[in-house]
């Protein structure tokens, strides 16, 4: 990527990260963000899935909220394989994407997006759901997707088809965050091919704003993935059993990702 492309990516990621963090706190937080950014906003709810949009003169952002209450665990736990567009994927996330897509498009957002550059994204499960949206609705096909700490959702057999789509996919991860390694495929990871894959290479963020594009196909990365899957298994299982956040998942928080993106965007702008 050129320096200008990296700068634009980080500035767009910063706004998407701000919206992805605000949507957890509801309509009031999104409205406050819209006022500070001098944008219009929309807030959507379908079943247990929520999303928010910021509308600027020439572009707009749509962000899907991640796991935020006990009902979201039913979505996370539905790990059947289900068709979605040209791909197949995690049934819980596909269903959630279908629900929120109908709500968003049905309330006129598609018309707003057609006349502007659209960016979709989200944190955690919201990032996975956001990546599925353009497969469901032509009106929600973006310039790019931005996810932060998103879990795997695409079936391994069809992930290459997603990679071939015209929009760019930016998937940010941070050290010690276990969520990008779930849904769990431990034994398949050890003895065969995992059921689920990511649909984009990772951009690893450090808390000081440094970042690097990961090559997930090196032997070292495969070994790290197996170790992180073991770690994630214990943490994710504990979280699912108690149906609440656990202290060890603080490394996954949206505020941690937002702070790192803010640092990266600021450092890049100052140094170029």
The model carries a pTM of 0.85
Tens digits of residue pLDDT in 43-71:
999 988 999 999 999 999 999 998 765 44
Mean of all residue pLDDT scores within the chain: 83
CATH code assigned to 3-271: 3.40.50.1820
The residue ranges of every structural domain in the chain are 3-271
Query: What sign for the dihedral angle of Cα 169, 202, 216, 178?
Result: negative
Residue with tokens 């279908």, as numbered in its chain? 98
Q: Residue 194's pLDDT is what?
A: 60
Q: Residue 79's pLDDT is what?
A: 75
């Amino acid at each position: 990527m050129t320096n200008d492309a990296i700068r634009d990516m980080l500035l767009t990621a910063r706004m998407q990260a701000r919206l992805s963090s605000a949507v957890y706190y509801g309509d009031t937080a999104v409205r406050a963000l819209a006022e500070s950014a001098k944008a219009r906003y929309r807030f959507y709810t379908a079943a247990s899935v929520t999303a928010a949009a910021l509308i600027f003169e020439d572009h707009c952002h749509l962000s899907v909220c991640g796991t935020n209450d006990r009902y979201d665990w039913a979505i996370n736990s539905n790990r059947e394989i289900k068709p979605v567009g040209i791909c197949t994927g995690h049934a819980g996330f596909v269903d959630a994407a279908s629900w929120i897509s109908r709500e968003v498009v049905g309330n006129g957002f598609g018309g707003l997006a057609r006349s502007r550059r659209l960016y979709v994204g989200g944190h955690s499960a919201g990032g996975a759901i956001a990546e599925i949206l353009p497969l469901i609705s032509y009106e929600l096909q973006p310039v790019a997707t931005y996810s932060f700490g998103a879990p795997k959702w695409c079936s391994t057999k069809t992930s290459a088809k997603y990679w071939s789509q015209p929009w760019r996919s930016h998937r940010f991860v941070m050290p010690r965050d276990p969520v990008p390694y779930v849904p769990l495929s431990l034994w398949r990871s050890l003895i065969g091919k995992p059921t689920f894959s990511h649909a984009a290479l990772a951009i690893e963020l450090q808390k000081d704003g440094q970042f690097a594009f990961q090559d997930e196909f090196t032997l070292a990365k495969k070994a790290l993935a197996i170790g992180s899957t073991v770690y994630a298994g214990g943490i994710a299982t504990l979280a699912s059993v108690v149906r609440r956040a656990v202290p060890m998942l603080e490394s996954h928080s949206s505020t941690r990702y937002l702070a790192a993106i803010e640092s990266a965007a600021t450092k890049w702008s100052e140094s170029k």
